[in-house]
Each structure stands twice: as structure tokens, then as C-alpha cells.
Structure 1
């Protein structure tokens, strides 16, 4: 890594995430902010959140699949568990989908016939209102080669905080899954290009790989994934307070 600033802070991130993983969530908790507190825009009437969780796909959009297993269901199951883990750590978070429906159905402001664009526009629009410190979008991968496996975190190429968030998440997921993968720049993804807040897409594993598929569909393993993500997010938020604005 050429940037010494990122290298030094990533070293701190590894320490923080190890600390967050070893200490009970109650010990790390800070008082939860009241819902009446203003967002970063300063308007007390608008909602706010430290973290926005994006459960990918939903409703008519099932995402990738393997047989009868749909990506949208796994994304939501892990997102609900992750929200619970973050709230246990007193981290103020919002989940943009809590059931099996398409976010395009909630978008009545965007003038386009494209359901896909309305879906993406609704996800993007929520970040503008909440102004979160981090956006974590949950997805599941698929590949033609069944041998491909493991979690991969995609980040915004031009956002240093997104890279740090991605590396912290990737490190935690690697430890949980027993992998040694690196985060990857997501240059073509709508949310990574449009959202100003540090944003990552977490591909939690490959449905096309038998071992990943078994892990992604096992409730106990889903909980482990959620715990790994929560520990990383908690560590990142501690670190983020020390980072200059990007």
C-alpha cells in the first residue's frame, strides 16, 4: 500500500476490531441517541443514523439464485441479525428493507418506467436523508466456477474511508470464514458511484459454491456472519472519529 496514512490507520483498525470482538457488546456500548436528535444537516425533524444497512434486492427482484435458494432472502436474514447485533452495541442504525418487497414500490418521486432505476434511486435517496457515517450493502455472489468461494467487500475507489471500512470488514469476515481474500474496488456499481458517505458492498459468499451455500443458508452461520460484520462496523466507527474528512 503506497499511502502511509491509510497504512497506519489500518494497523489501528486491526487492533480496534480485535478489541471489539473480544469485549462484550454491553461494555462497548455508549448511550443510544434519541430519535429527536438532529441529523448532520442540523434539522431535528429529520431522522439520522450512524449506519445504514442495505438489504440487497427484494420482492420481484430475487437477485442471484441456486435452485430454490434466493439471494434476496439471505440478504434480509443476515441484515435483520446484523441490525440486532448493532443495536446491542448501541449503534444507531437503519435497515432499509424489513420484509420481502422491492424498494422500487416505495419510490413515487422518480419519473422513470424502469423498476431497477427506481429501486436504486430509493436506496440512494435514503442516504441523502439519513447522512450516515457508513453504508453497508449486503449481497451474495455467484460464479460460473463452483470453486470460487469466500466473502468479498467492494469499496468506492475514490473514497479513503470506504477503503478503510472495506479492509476492516474484509479482515473480520476472513477470520470468520477462514479465508484470505482482499477487498476490491467497485468501479461500476451505482451505489458506490453515487453515495457520498463511505459505502461498501459486502458479497457474503458464493451461492454457486457448495460450502459457501451451506454456510449462507445455515441460521447459526448467518449469525456468525452478522457478528463478524457488527464487530468490524463497531471498530470502524471508533476509528472514523479519528479520521479527517475525505
Structure 2
């Protein structure tokens, strides 16, 4: 199968591979945007930083999740005096005695439009749900880390597997570089997920999350562009290339 490499593939196979790469490329961009809009706003500032990682996984243990959100992503959802009133109540332990006569109406006016209809976020029509986020922010729970970790590992591994499989048919790529490019996304994926657990224990490990994310992003971007270039641009020169694995030794 000397012909089986990216430049020499039949057009239907190129379309199949390219369709997959295009969908995955857009999906990864959307994933990056989602990270910027969630974790990237954890410290109340636009852009992903070490503090965002710390707040997301270790937490801001100087205050509650509720306070952190009111000073961050939810800052524009209520007037300053209302936010300060809620923060003061949360710092006092969110006593239930003040819920019915006052704070139930405050939350109904400013929060429940989303926090009663959007799945996956606390329902602020119930005091018990508010009480949970009014506690000191200790970051992600063990339960949520376990759930997100196994979903992330299984899902992203499938993406990298098929992307790496397509890239393995590339030509004129030094063998060592090809091996590293294929191995790096999996290695950095493991580092990324492991860093969440380490950051939960110690905020000093937050840098590993950024390194892991950058590592597999760079490697997958290299494989994506190399594969698309060889299928649709390099193949136009009319040259017939040899075995994709032996020619690059």
C-alpha cells in the first residue's frame, strides 16, 4: 500500500477525512470559547489566567462561590447595593431567618430568571440551593472532578485518536517529529486532567493546567494543518509519494 498516504488518497477519502477535521476544528474552537466564557471569567476578568484555574479548582477560600460570582461574571446582574447586601448575608453564614422576609424576593428579582430555568445551575427559588453556593468557595467538588475527568478523557481521546490516525499518513514529516506530534496530545491530555486534581489540593499546580491545554492544542493544530495541506495542496503537484511510514525514516 505504497500509495496510501495523504497526497495520493482517492478524492472520496480526502473528503471524508477533511469533513471530520473541519467539524473537529470548529468543535475545538467552540470548546476554547466555552472555556473562556466559564473558567476564563472565574476571577472576574476576561482571559484565562492562573487565577482562573485556581478559583475553578482550588476555589477562593476567602469567600463563597456566591460572592465570587457576584464580583465576577454576574457583576452586571444586580446593582452594587444589592450585591453588597447579598455578600454581607453570605459572609454571615446565610441565616435562613432572613431568607423568607427579605432575600427570597431579592433573588426572585435579580437571579431566578436564569437560576430556575437553565439546567445544570443552582435553582435560586429554593433556600437549600442558595445555601450551598453561599458557603466558602472550595472550588470543584470531588464528585464533579470525577465526572468531568472521565468524560474529558474518553471524549477527547477519541478526537485525538482519529486526528492522529489521519496525520499518520502524512509524508515528508521526519519520523521522530511525527511520533512526537501523535504522542503529545495524549500525554498533555493526561497532564491537563491530572492538574485539576493537583490544583484542588494545592493552587501552585494551576500552571500545569495551562501547560497541558497549550500542549495538546499546539500538537493537534500542527496535525490538523499538515493533514489538510497535504490532502488538498501538496497533492496538486502531481507527484506520487511512497509509503507514509517508511519514506520518513
Place the TM-score, normalised by the shorter chain, in its bin.
under 0.3
Which has the higher relative contact order, 1 or 2, with Cα contacts under 8 A spaced 6 or more apart? Answer: 2
Q: TM-score, normalised by structure 2?
A: 0.27
Structure possessing the higher radius of gyration over alpha carbons: 2
Structure with the higher strand share, 1 or 2:
1
Structure with the higher helix share, 1 or 2:
2
